[in-house]
Every structure is written in C-alpha cells, then in structure tokens.
Structure 1
Amino acid sequence: NFGKDIWMIGIAISLLMLSQAAIGFANAFRIIKKANRKD
C-alpha cells in the first residue's frame, strides 16, 4: 500500500510540473504574440 502512495505522489508531482510548464509556455506564447504585433 505504501508503494501505491509513492506512485500517486509521483503522478501528482508530474501533473503539477506539466501544468506549470503549460502555463510558462502560454505566457511565452503571449509575449511572442505581443512582440510580433509591434511590427
């Protein structure tokens, strides 16, 4: 049962990291769009 808990924590951390990466990518994309609009 303890191994299952570690597995669940691992998945939770992975999802958190993925969501953080997605937010960072969205912010970068928004900045690039703004930079392109200045043309």
Structure 2
Amino acid sequence: MFEQTFKNIDDILHKEAGCSSELGYTEQTSWMLFLKYQDDL
C-alpha cells in the first residue's frame, strides 16, 4: 500500500515538479508528508 503511494508521488514529482534525482524526490516527498501531517492536525 505505502510502496504504491510513494511510487505515485514519485511519478507526479518527476513529471510536474521536474525532480531529476533521488535527493529531489526525498526532499519533496518529506515536504508533502509534513504538509499532510499539518493538515490532519
């Protein structure tokens, strides 16, 4: 379940945000998870 979710996030980041490296994916994914956490609070 989580693997597919992260795969979907990576695909979106690669296409729309222009992330070209694993570091870019990690940074953007962690930012999105942080924002989701804040939204849930």
TM-score for both structures, normalised by structure 2: 0.50
CA distance in 1, matches of 2:37, 2:21: 24
The structure in which a higher percent of residues are helix is 1
Specify every segment of 5 or more residues in structure 2 that has no aligned partner in the other structure, as ranges: 1-19
Q: Which amino acid aligns with 1:13?
A: Q
Q: Quick one: percent identity of the two aligned structures?
A: 9
Query: What TM-score, normalized by structure 1, do the two folds share?
Result: 0.53
Q: Partners of 2:40 and 2:34 in 1: how far apart?
A: 10
| Number of equivalences | 22
Where do 4+ consecutive residues of structure 1 move more than 2 Å? Answer: none
Which structure 1 segments of 5+ residues have no match? 27-39
Q: How many Å separate the matches in 2 of 1:17 and 1:23?
A: 10
